[in-house]
Amino acid sequence: MDLITRLKVERDGRVHGGIYDITQKHFAYNSNKIEGNRLTEEQTSFIYETKTIANIGGTGIKIDDLVETNNHFKCFDYIINTVDEQLTEDYVKKLHSILKAGTSSEYNEYAPVGRYKVFENEVGQIATAAVDQVEETDLVKHFCNTSV
């Protein structure tokens, strides 16, 4: 059984502890952590497993952190369901739209959902390239035309 088939079988069969389950949790936790999400790995797993929240550790939980974590699970499912589609700029923007749906970014003109950034940002307290120094369209086209 190939990996994509196995992921779909585990997802549809609600297999606990399989590669689908583990990948969902690690993907959401690590990707969100890079962007400054304050949820712990335990909280991320709890949200995935129960679709509820528990304030493990006693610190406040931001609504955006919760919504974006849940959206990560949806992004992963979207990728699995569309794995045979060609990687395009629109596909990348669609993933970003799924990820940010229902967050404060959806209503923030400075953090456009499904579009390229308009202001500089930080990743883990590391400044990234200035907006005017990044040719997003060229980068996305490069990645879309690179075979794995």
pLDDT one-digit tens code per residue, 50-62: 888 766 666 777 8
Q: Is residue 89 part of a domain?
A: yes
Which residues, in sequence order, are CB contacts of 109 under 8 Å at separation 6+? 118
Q: Is residue 99 part of a domain?
A: yes
pLDDT for res 136: 67
Q: How many domains does the chain have?
A: 1
pLDDT for res 91: 92
Question: Residue 122 has what DSSP assignment?
Answer: E
Contact 72, 99 (CB under 8 A): yes
Q: Is residue 107 part of a domain?
A: yes
State how beta strands 126-127 and 122-123 pair.
Answer: antiparallel
- Look at residues 116, 80, 124, 74 and name the one whose alpha carbon lies nearest to residue 99: 74
Q: Is residue 123 part of a domain?
A: yes
Q: Is residue 19 part of a domain?
A: no
Q: Is residue 7 part of a domain?
A: no
H or E element that contains 127: strand 126-127
- Measured distance CA(133)–CA(124) in Å, rounded: 20
Average pLDDT, the chain: 84
Residues of the chain with pLDDT > 90, as a percent, come to: 43
Over residues 60-82, mean pLDDT: 92
- Look at residues 83, 91, 73 and name the one whose alpha carbon lies nearest to residue 20: 73
- Residue 122 sits in which domain range? 85-148
pLDDT tens digit sequence for 4-37: 999 999 999 999 999 999 999 999 999 988 888 8
Q: Is residue 115 part of a domain?
A: yes
